[in-house]
Chain A
C-alpha cells in the first residue's frame, strides 16, 4: 500500500489555542481511514489544514507525494481531494440535479468549457448518483427544502459527482435520523469499493467508525494520542481515558 495523504509534523494554533500539535499520519490509497477524538480535540482543524482552508503554522502535507501545504482550497480540490462539511453545505436555491451539475469537476477545464451547455451524459450521471443516495424522487426539489439528513446525502452525492481520489468526510452521520445511518454507511462502503474512492472519515459515533474504518487515528487536546486497527484502539487504555475524561 502507498500513502495517498502524508501529514508530517503539522501544527496549527488559533491565538493561544494549540488546535493541532505536531500531528503525523498517513491515509493509505484505497483505504477507509478513521479520525476520532473528543469535542474540540482538533479533528476539523486538521481537515481544514489538509484541504488548504487555512495556512498551517509548520509541518508538511503531501498528496500523492506532492507538497500541497502551500496550495489553496480550489487548487487542492482540483487535484482530486474533496471534503464535506460538518455543517452541511449545499447550494440552497438550486434543485438537486443542478447541485449535482454544479459539483462537476473543474479539473483541466478550458476557458471555453466554462460556457458549455449541460451535457446529457452529466445529467445521466447526476440522476444515477441521486438514485444511489435515494434522492431520485426529490431531484427537482430545491436543495434548501430537503431535510437535514437528505442534505447530507446530497452533499455526499455531489462529492462523488466530482470524481475525487480521496474524500474527507467530517462527521457524515452527525445530526441525522438514526434510520438513515445504516444506509449511509453502506453508501460509504460502496463508494470505496466500487468507485475506488479513498475515504478519510471523522466520526463521533463509535459503532459507526469501528465498523467502517480499517485504520483509526485518535486525537486528544490537539495531539495524536494513538492509532491502529479498530480492535486495538477499542481496547487502548489511553483512548478509553480520553473519551471518559471528556464526558
Chain B
C-alpha cells in the first residue's frame, strides 16, 4: 500500500522541518508557529466536520474561550482582573519569571479543561440540530460569544486585554541557549511559543491518528454515513458527538491560550472570535486537503497557509480576492480535496478495494450463487421449505 509507504516520509519531513525551521528561517519563526496552529485548526475541525459529518462554523468559539480563560488565569493569581483590564486605571504591573510561567501553565491547562466543559454544555443545545441548522447554530454561538465578551468590562470588554510580557534576560534564558546557541533575548518569546505550538500540533495529530483507529473513530464515520441507522443499532450518538466536540475543544482551547500570548493582546471580535477569518479558514483548509482523512487537514493547512502568507506579502490589497477565489474553487470544483481526489484516482494506495466486475442484475445473480454456496457449507436449510 503506497499510502502507508508515503506516511513515513511524511512524518520525517514534518519532524525535520519542525525542528530545523526556527534555525534556518529565524525571521519567520512566528509565521511557522502560525502554521502549526493552522494545522491544529484544520485537524480539529475535521474531527467533527469530516469524520462525523457535522459541519460546524463555530469551532472558533473554543479558540476564543481558551484565549480568555488563559488570560484570566495568568493575571488573576497576582492582580485584580478588573483593575488590570481597566483602561483608565493607573495600575502598573510586572510579572516575575516564576509568576509568568506559573500563570501560563495554569492558563493552558484551564483553557483546555474549560473549553471541554463549554463543549459539553453547548453540545446539549446544538446537537439537536442537523445539517445547515447545525452550521448556523454553531456560528451563532461564536458570534454571540464575541458580543457578550465585548460587553463584559471585568475582562476588558471591547477594549481587550494586554497579556503579561514575556520575561526577558531571565533565568529561563539558559534553557534556550543550550539548543540554540547564542540567542537574543528579544527572540526568546518567539522561540518559546514556536516550540509549544509545534508540540501542540504533533500531539493533536498523534492523538487523532490513534483515535481514528479505535472503535470511536469507526462510530464517528458511522454517524456521518447514517445517524438514523447508528441509533437503530443502539449507538449513544449524543455521547459520541459530545466527546468528539470536546476533543476538538480541548486542542482548540490550548491553541487559543498560546495564540493570545504570541500576539500579546486580545480583544473579542478580531483576535479571539474571528468567525470570518480563522473560523472560515479552518473549514476551507480541511476541505482543500480532503475532509474525513487524517492527512488531508495537514496538507490543506500547509498549502493554505503558504498561499495566504504569500498573497499577504506580495499581493497586498488583492489578498481577499485571492482567498475568496480559493474558497469558491475549492467548494465548487474540488469538494473531495487533495487526499480525497487521490483516493478516488488511486484507491489501491489507500487499501481501498473497488469492485471492477459486476453490477446490478449480474451482481444479484452472483450474490445468489454465493448464498447457495454458503448455505451448502452451513449444512443445508434449517427446515425443509413448508408446502
Contact = CB atoms under 8 A, between A and B. Distances in A.
Max count, chain A CB within 10 A of own CB: residue among B219, B239, B367: B367
Interface string B226-263: 10111111111101100100000000000000000000
A192 interface: yes
A107 B225 contact: no
B363 A147 contact: yes
Contacts of B182: none
A176 to B, nearest CB: 7
A116 to B, nearest CB: 5
B47 to A, nearest CB: 14
A233 interface: no
Given A90-B229, A183-B372, A176 B364 contact: yes
B364 A177 contact: yes
Contacts of B240: 114
B88 interface: no
A103 interface: yes
A91 B222 contact: yes
B374 A134 contact: yes
B353 interface: yes
Given A106-B235, A114-B243, A134 B359 contact: no
B361 interface: yes
B318 interface: no
B265 to A, nearest CB: 39
A125 interface: no
Contacts of B222: 91, 94, 102
Contact of A115 (B215, B354, B374, B381): B215
Contacts of A184: 371
Contact of B353 (A82, A141, A149): A141
Contact of B233 (A92, A133, A150, A162): A162
Contact of A149 (B230, B352, B367, B373): B367
B314 interface: no
Interface in B127-163: none
A124 interface: no
A77 B354 CA distance: 32
Contacts of A194: 382
A85 B364 contact: no
A177 B368 contact: yes
A193 B381 CA distance: 10
A98 B218 contact: yes
Contacts of A135: 367, 370
B371 A180 contact: yes
A92 B226 contact: yes
Contact of B215 (A95, A101, A179): A101
B386 interface: yes
Contacts of B363: 146-147, 149-150
B348 to A, nearest CB: 12
12 contacts: A77-B233, A91-B222, A92-B225, A92-B226, A95-B352, A98-B218, A131-B377, A147-B367, A176-B364, A180-B368, A187-B375, A210-B387
Interface of A: 51, 73-75, 77-78, 82-83, 85, 89-95, 98, 101-107, 113-118, 131-138, 140-142, 145-147, 149-150, 153, 158, 162, 176-177, 179-180, 183-187, 189-190, 192-194, 210-211
The 3 A-B pairs with the shortest beta carbon distances in the complex, nearest first, are: A183-B371, A77-B234, A134-B370
